Amino acid sequence: MSKQAVYHYIKMFENIVILTGTLFIADRLIGHTLKKIYFKQQKGDYYQTTYAVDSARQQLLIFGSSRASHHYVSSVFEKYTNKSVYNLGRDGRNILYSEAIFLQVLSNHKPDDVILDVTPNEFSWKAGNEGRSVMVNTLLPYTYQPTIYKIIEKADKSELILSKVFQTYPYNSIAVQVLGNYFGVLNGEQNIKGYVPLLGNKISKEVTIQTPETRNAVNNDLALVNSFKNFLALAKSNKITCRVVVSPIYHVDEPNCLPYLKKITESYGLRFYDYSDLKIFKDSSLFYDNTHLNDKGATIFSNLLASNLTNDLK
Amino acid sequence: MLFNSLIFLNFFVVVTTLYFLVPDKHQWKLLLLASCYFYMFFVPVYLLILGFTIVIDYYAGILIERKTGSKKKLMLIVSLMANVGVLAVFKYYNFIANNLSFLLKLSGVHHHIPYLNILLPIGLSFHTFQAMSYTIEVYRGHQKPERNFGIYALYVMFYPQLVAGPIERPQNMLPQFHQKHAFNYDDVVTGLRKMLWGYFKKLVVADRLAIYVNAVFHHPGKHSAITLITAIIFFSFQIYCDFSGYSDIALGTARVMGYKLMVNFRRPYFATSIKEFWSRWHISLSTWFRDYLYIPLGGNRRSISRWCLNILLVFMISGLWHGASWTFVVWGALHGFYLIAGIFFNKVFKDRFLIIKNTVTGIFFRTSFTFMIVCFGWIFFRANSIDDAFIIIRNIVTWKGGGFYIGSISDIFYSIVALAILLITEYTQEFYSESFSLMNSRYKLVRHLSYVAIILLILLAGILNQSQFIYFQF
């Protein structure tokens, strides 16, 4: 090797060391600050997950996506069942997230009952890598929990490695919202025992109501189907009463997998409650948008469901 | 294997390390092996298609040199037909079939020409054009045919530019494959810096803007004029950062190993005319069309009507090169029309506006106008169909109301910050010296801090879900 080449290698090595050192310090500093702020939030989506991961100890827990979070008024269920209730639903998350949170909850506490809200597009919404990526990214700040660590390790080891190497990485794409929530610049949604009310009505007038018959053909993603089965199996093996519920929906374009959801649920000896086509919920004034009830609709639905379940839940 | 994946980063580190460890005479062999592995990551069997054109073009090159007259021409035609044939089958068959079926239907014949259910080999348009430039250059006598089959194969397959260019010329690349490339600190640093900036453009700017753009273009009829205008401006930067980001990573990857690829973008949105825009945007393609289509057609040495026809033809074919869809043809034709309009404008008004032409106001006006009409063209490029494009134009022209679609506040925030960083950097590079930018600062501390800042920006604001590069589909 020539003298010049050796000089080039040494110069390169020297610069790599300086860059790595600077990056390490800056990353640790920013990552640590973001971590502190993230866990100090008291409202908004991230707080909802932090609560679910660290603190959910209620007797009745509700799981699901945004439709769970906006449809199940916890206080109504408390009134009917005399049990402590918390809604763990979260916007933009599918069954993979619900399964992970259920596993984490079980590592601390065994609820008496769980309700899992499912949607007609449960097995196609955020299918494939997208759903897995959303679940993993949501849970990256919680790898200090052994259960979460294992879930992410199984789902995507490279994400876990990145989050260990770079402390800023778990806050990818969320730093602005976290800071905004913390400093009160953004109005993170306030929840009432996990229930996040939606106010008003934004339904598009151009939409036509679809019946199950007019919806598209079923298109099931195997990972989502398995995740749903795992959720039911977990409940069953822990002797937790589990109800699978389809809450009201105004319009859905996506494939309808309700018959398949029902079949799987019943194969586990569980009851399937379908409220997606109830006549009273054909009224657009009860909806915030095509797939979400507003506060008024959610209260009517929660009372209806809770009264129907009362005998079972008591 | 996508440039924005961890697998690629590992691949890059391993290949580059091995590259400097193996003896000089084996470096090209390692690169060829690595390039095959890289390409096989997409659809392994498509390596055979690539192999087919490589074999034909390699022998065509040798035979072109040996033969004379019509036989020489025949060899060139065989080579071009093989390349264009592969393109026609894999990229344009379904488009042609669809349009023929439509024409038959119009003439009362109800016969549906069956489609081919095949996946487009990745980067096909890029490497076929690069291969064609080789045989054309050999035919013209500008390039000696490459005798080493492996090196010729590497010329077509060199992994940094295999799937999305720059579309290289044999005069630039082939000699470099014969040279020895020892570890050079300056090359490595220049290359890594280029890669880092490319990753910033792709992950932080392009992919972030894509969230808003995709949401709006998915249902263009639902959105207000102001939302559509925002989405079009965002798309103009998305496609620029997506493609030039890819090019930067390609240039950087090659430079680390000592190879100098041609510059593909030179801050195109600072162009003050469409003519200048095309000398700054996708330079390797526009010069390809200039050298191998526009000039052979006669260029501007013919009558004005023929000159205009040449321009229109070249741009329509360039549009079709981008994708087998009428939206791309319209986009190309639109740019051809812009250039023709520019020619007539200059002929009619000559130097009437010379006084303000080069003033700050004049430059600002011309840059803004050029950007505006380029953005108008992007409507056709991005729209899912011609109908969608006209819906967008109608909603803008009629100034459709309905409020401003924000989507996610944090996405908008990240987008604006990323765009600001991009524009400030490019402005500095355009109007001041390259060394004025932070990454090129003469102060080591400033340089290192700017690297760290970009890496942290990627970690905090980058979209790290390995999204496709837009130009991969071409």
Q: Where are the domains of chain B?
A: 6-181, 187-461
User: What amino acid positions of B are annotated as catalytic residues?
Assistant: 322
Segment A78-125, tens digit of pLDDT? 998 888 999 999 988 989 999 999 999 999 899 999 999 998 888 887
Selection from A89, A84, A99, A56 nearest residue A235 by Cα: A99
What is chain B's alpha carbon radius of gyration, rounded to the nearest angstrom? Answer: 23
Cα–Cα distance, A128 to A146 (Å, whole number):
25
A173 touches chain B (CB under 8 A): yes
**Pick from B448, B449, B456: CB nearest A27:** B456
Residues from chain A that touch B410, judged by Cβ atoms under 8 A, are 173-174, 176-177, 180
Segment B192-226, tens digit of pLDDT? 999 999 999 999 999 999 999 999 998 888 899 99
Average pLDDT of the segment spanning B45-55: 89
CA dihedral A33, A36, A40, A46 (to 10 degrees): 80
Q: A311 versus A196: which is more confidently predicted?
A: A196
In a domain, A180, yes or no: no
Nearest-CA distance A236 → chain B (Å):
35
Mutate to test the interface with B, among A46, A176, A177, A186 (most CBs of B within 10 A): A176
Please count the structural domains in chain A: 1
Give the mean pLDDT of chain B. 89
**Pick from B188, B451, B459: CB nearest A169:** B459
Task: Report CB contact under 8 Å: A158, B413.
Answer: no
The edge-to-edge listing of strands for the beta sheet with A241-246 is: A85-87, A60-63, A113-118, A241-246, A272-274
Segment B135-194, tens digit of pLDDT? 999 999 999 999 999 999 999 999 998 888 799 999 999 999 998 888 889 999 999 999
Task: Report CB contact under 8 Å: B409, A186.
Answer: yes
In a domain, A25, yes or no: no
Cα–Cα distance, B174 to B144 (Å, whole number):
10
Q: A72 versus A182: which is more confidently predicted?
A: A72
pLDDT score of B120: 75
Segment A71-88, tens digit of pLDDT? 999 999 999 888 899 999
Q: Is the pLDDT of residue B71 over 70?
A: yes
In a domain, A54, yes or no: yes
pLDDT band at residue A182 using 50, 70 and 90 as cut-offs: confident
A176 touches chain B (CB under 8 A): yes
Task: Report CB contact under 8 Å: B449, A22.
Answer: yes
Cα–Cα distance, B172 to B177 (Å, whole number):
10
In a domain, A31, yes or no: no
Interface contacts A/B by beta carbons within 8 Å: 68
**Pick from A15, A23, A171: CB nearest B460:** A171
**Pick from A22, A130, A177: CB nearest B452:** A22
Residues from chain A that touch B461, judged by Cβ atoms under 8 A, are 172-173, 175
In a domain, A147, yes or no: no
End-to-end CA distance of chain A: 81
Peptide bond before residue B166 is cis, with ω within 30 degrees of 0:
yes
**Pick from A8, A18, A27: CB nearest B185:** A8
Q: Is the pLDDT of residue B461 over 70?
A: yes
Distance of CA B360 to the CA centre of its chain: 30
ipTM of the complex: 0.81
pLDDT band at residue B96 using 50, 70 and 90 as cut-offs: confident
For A115, the 3-state DSSP assignment is strand
Cα–Cα distance, B31 to B134 (Å, whole number):
20
Task: Report CB contact under 8 Å: B452, A19.
Answer: yes
Smallest CA–CA distance from A186 into chain B, residue: B409
Task: Report CB contact under 8 Å: B459, A168.
Answer: yes
Task: Report CB contact under 8 Å: B461, A5.
Answer: no
Residue B371 CB partners (closer than 8 Å, separation 6+): B236, B269
The sign of the dihedral angle between the CA atoms of B220, B226, B227, B230 is: positive
State the SS3 of B265-302: CCCHHHCCCHHHHHCCCCHHHHHHHHHHHHCCCCCCCC
Cα distances from A137 to residues A96, A179, B340, B379, in angstroms, run: 12, 18, 51, 33
Which residues form the domain of A304? Answer: 43-125+190-313
In a domain, A9, yes or no: no
Q: Are B411 and B234 in contact (CB under 8 A)?
A: no
Selection from B256, B233, B237 nearest residue B245 by Cα: B237
Phi, psi of B144 (to 5 degrees): -75, 140
pLDDT band at residue A208 using 50, 70 and 90 as cut-offs: very low
In a domain, A51, yes or no: yes
Mutate to test the interface with A, among B5, B22, B185 (most CBs of A within 10 A): B185
Cα–Cα distance, B164 to B151 (Å, whole number):
20
Smallest CA–CA distance from A2 into chain B, residue: B182
Task: Locate A228 and state its tokens.
Answer: 């749903």
Smallest CA–CA distance from B460 into chain A, residue: A172
The sign of the dihedral angle between the CA atoms of A290, A292, A296, A300 is: positive
pLDDT score of A214: 42
The CATH number assigned to the domain holding A245 equals 3.40.50.1110
